[in-house]
Chain A
């Protein structure tokens, strides 16, 4: 038997290209459905886990999926905005604890999550290095942001302009990193967290500049009247909030009217949650309240439908590939007719020839199995990261 395996191995080693093609074909057929299963299961786990731990979301009426995906997984699709007043209304009901969310901007391709400190308590996020943000203009970054951009507490990260071509737009804000979160194996690893007020400064609803009522630089003043000073475009606005200029930062308007993308509402008990949901059923209320778990369950049901289709497609492709492999083997036997004839004439029995060919197939299958196992171990190890980067 060992002789047959040795001869088969030498043959395969001699025909490297053919062997490689066969191993690749078998590996793909085996890996594809299993890898897909692993990744879909992981994405389902991640989606469901986060959705289950987020009781209620309040947002503008519209796509519930966009609202959930933006609020829970920081997706690029920004839902219609609501105002901070919505969070204050929830607080006033005494039925749930509101956590404001404003997820619209990015910093070096990572989402900026404007929220309150309560978010960290709610998600049980721990600080690995540094501290939580304390002053306006500070931020806390997720573990993956820190790793990928090689940033640590004390470094800076700049918010990205929404569009490169809007030269009259808002200045980017240079934010000081006060801390790095410990890995949470969730979307939080990819977030740049700031206080909600800092998010409004990034939006341009607040800013800091020299005091135009006391400045001696007349070139920045367009018009001075009793009770009003009009500054011109030369008035420089600060792009970084420091200890020296923090007093000059101010918001333009009532924070209750400032935008949020959602309010994460945590009911004090089940009954309170039900009452709160009931209050948002009226048509005239411009907000919707959604249970993320329900939205994600619907999404998962659709994904399962797609998975069935994908499984069927994979099965058809696998059958076709297997048939092609059978064809390759039979053609190769025909090509090797003279070679087999020589082996026969040398005194080998037909059974020995059959053993030789079986050994070749067995070696190819084993090699594919090994590659398959290696790939699946890798996919299983990096499944959380793959799901976050590829699927979400």
Chain B
């Protein structure tokens, strides 16, 4: 009888201690982000104090992904919603999210955001002309801006969990150091051949071009699609005005595309903006690889 009671008591204690401690479970913040770079920054700063969620499927560009109502409600429940700002993830403007739990990471440099005004405008009624165009949103490709975005995340996390502010500060400083090293490296590299004409396959490198003084002409080509005869013809005209020897792609281009470019005397390289979670590595390793690729353009 006594042995059975002892067994039950031991079993009870094992079960009790195997349960997660409620205090620890409660303290873990749930942070939702709208793209992978912000997810990476939040994870680096928050460490194991927070649970970072980036629900967009890896196959989709998060800038144009649209969550369903159930997913919007998951975002509503988050302790923090980290936004890129600059008009990124337009779906956030058509849903209801708690304003006080949202962090616009680019708000601090909102006055220097780049407007993209190549959209067709229309007008009707008394409101006059208007455009549905927007703002360039790949803000993190200027690594100094990326550091500011990381700082906004650090501040928001510290406000939410002031007792772990010291940990966040330490993690943030390390991330900032990494980002500013990328910034310096890119700046130094581009200074080797100032004004070097370059083509970019997609209009996503505005901030990078501005920060690192790149003479970049951006097209609207997709790396996994053939641009088509019309685009190639148009490109023939462009290379007469913009005598570039390199095309910067956002992803590995089709072999046919790079071969055709090679025939025109234009080599291909990749600068992955890292919108979505990479199959291998993380944001930092992808950016490091991007810099290695750019080194072939500017140094070798």
Contacts and interface: CB of A to CB of B under 8 A. Distances in A.
B is bound to A: yes
B121 A117 contact: no
Interface in B104-132: 120-125, 127, 129-130, 132
A117 B120 contact: no
Contact of A232 (B72, B97, B124, B127): B124
Given A116-B96, A117-B96, A228 B129 contact: yes
B4 interface: no
A58 to B, nearest CB: 15
B99 interface: yes
Contact of B124 (A135, A231, A249): A231
B96 A133 contact: yes
Given A117-B76, A118-B99, A136 B121 contact: no
Closest CB pairs A-B (n = 10): A231-B124, A229-B122, A116-B99, A195-B96, A117-B98, A118-B100, A134-B72, A212-B122, A136-B94, A228-B121
A134 B123 CA distance: 30
Given A117-B97, A132-B76, A231-B124, 14 more contacts: A87-B99, A97-B100, A98-B100, A99-B100, A117-B76, A134-B72, A134-B96, A228-B121, A229-B121, A229-B122, A230-B122, A247-B94, A249-B94, A253-B130
Interface in B60-106: 69, 72-73, 76, 93-101
B158 to A, nearest CB: 12
Contacts of B122: 212-213, 228-231
A67 B275 CA distance: 45
Of B69, B125, B127, B130, the most chain A CB neighbours within 10 A belong to B125
Given A117-B96, A118-B100, A252-B130, A131 B73 contact: yes
Interface string A114-131: 001110010000000001
B120 A229 contact: yes
A97 B156 CA distance: 13
A369 to B, nearest CB: 54
19 contacts: A99-B100, A116-B96, A117-B76, A117-B97, A132-B76, A133-B96, A134-B72, A134-B73, A134-B96, A136-B96, A197-B93, A197-B94, A212-B122, A230-B123, A232-B124, A235-B124, A246-B94, A250-B132, A251-B93
Interface in A331-354: none
Contacts of A213: 120, 122
B78 to A, nearest CB: 12
A138 interface: yes
A278 interface: no
Contacts of A116: 96, 98-100
Contacts of A118: 98-101
Given A117-B76, A131-B73, A252-B127, A228 B120 contact: yes
A229 B73 CA distance: 37
Nearest to A266: B100
A134 B100 contact: no
Interface residues of B, number: 23
Contact of A227 (B69, B76, B121, B132): B121
Interface of A: 87, 97-100, 116-118, 121, 131-136, 138, 195, 197, 209, 212-213, 227-233, 235, 246-247, 249-253
Nearest to B70: A134
Contacts of A209: 124
B120 A135 contact: no
B257 to A, nearest CB: 28
Contacts of B94: 135-136, 197, 246-247, 249
Contacts of A251: 93
A149 B132 CA distance: 39
A195 B97 CA distance: 9
A87 B100 CA distance: 11
A132 B73 CA distance: 9
Contacts of A252: 127, 130
A121 B120 contact: no
Given A228-B122, A231-B122, A252-B130, A135 B98 contact: no
A99 B76 contact: no
Nearest to B124: A231
B240 to A, nearest CB: 23
A200 to B, nearest CB: 11
Contacts of B129: 228
B96 A135 contact: yes
A136 B127 CA distance: 21
A246 B93 CA distance: 11
B88 to A, nearest CB: 15
A132 B77 CA distance: 11
A247 B130 CA distance: 16
A209 B130 CA distance: 14
Contact of B99 (A99, A229, A232, A253): A99
Centre residue among A98, A227, A231 by max chain B CB count within 10 A: A227
B95 A135 contact: yes
B99 A134 contact: no
Contacts of B123: 228-231
A233 to B, nearest CB: 8
Contacts of B121: 227-229
Interface in B130-150: 130, 132
Contacts of A232: 124
Contact of B95 (A99, A100, A134, A229): A134
B129 to A, nearest CB: 6
B98 A121 contact: yes
Nearest to A248: B132
